[in-house]
Structure 1
């Protein structure tokens, strides 16, 4: 497979290694692999804004559309420091396999701006959001590429995206993004969808390994939207005991269980978990190795390496984040397959894109569903995907990650073959 110098970095290397592992398993000829792996389109833009102090600063923005064979691109928009096009491309690639695995008519896409929202005022974030969308207008649209929130963005940013795009079109085009406020055409249940999906799949995994949800012990890494919702639902709806949580500022551990509603309120009021307690603070890496029934990494990429994979003491590893486990760690976990039940990221965190699909459909039809309808449909779709992955892994004697990736790659490969190569 030829190298493409545009895409580099450890996160892209992860995505490439995972693809090659699945491609080897599927015996895909080398001359097909480049077209399957490398993105169709990558866009880099300058995002200049006026800072509050009167100065002008230029941020770098990206959007990568991995493939558009199955339908419009679909993927989040991340505002994060040190973001680069290699990371964005990797996230778009994972989104392709994720959408295919969930039987969604989308290709994978991803975007973002290299900035630190914690160092910006609300007005500056709005300026970045609007200018970024303005620069992306030639490349996105309801039938071309549909954006969504990701790390550092939220429904407020999606509202600014809708307004900027709609002002350019001359009419309201709310279906250009998902994850927007409900009164701007968003869907009930979208904010909680990724975390709820993690919990639905944890429930399925518990059935598979013979665990009861009530009274089970859980450690959640990351307390943003995905991690906090995962912790809330596990604690309040499933009766699990959340014994450890962490975010970028601190890690807490209490074997008797943590008061999740209090921690959610604290994080909402202060922007981070730090300051809630001094007595329960532990090392954030050490937290991941504490004994528990479920370990849910819901933060960022590459947090579990091969050394950590050998030390984790969970029965279920539920990957709420994108790419939290390195390929070297996968090798270790594959050897521990009877000890650790892995729910791979492209399955585990797919609840968000599934409900984004529901939101997109509702927007196109101007016909909106109740939250109960959304959650019931989400549960059906996730359970179906879970059974597909588990059956494939058992049939072929491979890990859940290889099975999930293989299903996604096969779907995209079949679509490309059926459409042919133009011209």
Structure 2
């Protein structure tokens, strides 16, 4: 499947179908879990700064809530599609199940480019999104959070609109809020740190010392930045980081054979993860093609950008030295590439396990907001480490016991938990 005709929802459904066949899931459970329970499609009229009105498309999709309220982020993306959101809502169901938190899966999105909107326009867009959904979200049925190109400020505008309409305070209705306004300490780092907690455990099972490893990372947004920070702090060396350049409308790979200084690159990136290439080159970084991150002689590949980045067409670029692929992004690997990864014997930490740190910490934030009692950062990160480590070993042990690919093992655990919840509720 090429990048042009890639459909994330088809990928998510095929992954589900393969495991449903593997575990002989009954037909009624398949029908419930293969498609979203509910979808909301709507338009959002926004008064622009120049006095004109622009109409944006918005979506909220709730895949399954048998284990608890739907949970999932809201993406801002000019190329957003409803099928991508369907896939992401489905992956959220498996993600919350594999780390065993009492939530379901949902996802939202607005077709827009916030990089071209003023702060005032972004605020009106956020409030308009909530006005369309206020009857269908909340701490008891569906809890949104930030995602691609959305942030804590967007979440606070959305929460304020929700509470204004409801006429009361509901701090647990939306997560990813600013610290001091109901947000949790550690939430900023959570997804990236969770990626490295699972990587650390994977390396232990392979008897590889993390201090002797090298890595290549795709992406330099929040997830990639904090994954890079923790990986470096644990003694690993990052040779390359690849990220999108919004000005040139293409990706570049930045390489330093002596190891990338994460703090240095953070100083020259914008809030969307774009690195100032002129400054990077002046600092001595090699500027390479966007796919060059795949070709590096490293031990670890860490895709932490968007979906469908490791494909059958690109797989031959991957250096023979690669031992582990740790999926920080959602759906970065195509189903065709999965087979090639298996054939080469690369150890894969699948996305909905690897990057579940964000939703786990969002759950912690929801609990804290509902209690109106907040934990310190060390406690949050300790709880996160415990959850991620336990989830990793449950998947790894099943994979070893049944001789399964790690992605399949993670699906078996997640689907079994959700299917049992559906059965216990009497839905089948």
TM normalised by structure 1 equals: 0.95
Q: Which residue of 2 aligns with 1:330?
A: 338
Q: Which residue of 2 aligns with 1:4?
A: none
Shift of 1:123: 1.3
Shift of 1:260: 1.1
Shift of 1:215: 4.1
Q: Which residue of 2 aligns with 1:5?
A: none
Q: What secondary structure, in the 3-state scheme, does the structure 1 residue paired with 2:210 have?
A: coil
Shift of 1:307: 3.1
Q: Given the alignment, which residue of 229, 245, 267 partners 2:241?
A: 245
TM-superposition CA deviations, 1:3-40 (whole Å, max 9, x none): xxxxx961101101100111111112334312111111
Q: Which residue of 1 aligns with 2:156?
A: 159
TM-superposition CA deviations, 1:192-231 (whole Å, max 9, x none): 1000001111111111112222242111100111011111
TM normalised by structure 2 equals: 0.93
Instruction: Confirm or deny: 8 A CA contact 2:63 2:90 kept in the other structure.
Output: yes
Q: Which residue of 1 aligns with 2:306?
A: 300
Instruction: Confirm or deny: 8 A CA contact 1:9 1:87 kept in the other structure.
Output: no
TM-superposition CA deviations, 1:73-128 (whole Å, max 9, x none): 10001000121211111000000011111111111000010111111111111111
In 2, distance between residues paired with 1:44 and 1:417?
29
Q: Given the alignment, which residue of 386, 403, 407 partners 1:401?
A: 407
Deviates more, 1:169-178 or 1:14-23: 169-178
Deviates more, 1:208-217 or 1:397-406: 208-217
Shift of 1:286: 2.2
Shift of 1:269: 7.4
Q: Show the 5 A alignment for 1:135-154.
A: 135-154=132-151
Residue 120 of structure 1 pairs with residue 117 of structure 2: yes
Q: Which residue of 2 aligns with 1:229?
A: 226
5+ long unaligned stretches in structure 2: 246-251
Q: Given the alignment, which residue of 50, 53, 66 partners 2:50?
A: 53
Q: Which residue of 2 aligns with 1:316?
A: 324
In 2, distance between residues paired with 1:80 and 1:196?
25
Taking structure 1 as reference, are residues 269 and 135 closer, same or farther at Cα in structure 2, changes over 3 Å only?
closer
Instruction: Confirm or deny: 8 A CA contact 1:217 1:292 kept in the other structure.
Output: yes
5+ long unaligned stretches in structure 1: 1-7
Cα RMSD, aligned residues only = 1.5
**Equivalent pairs, count:** 412
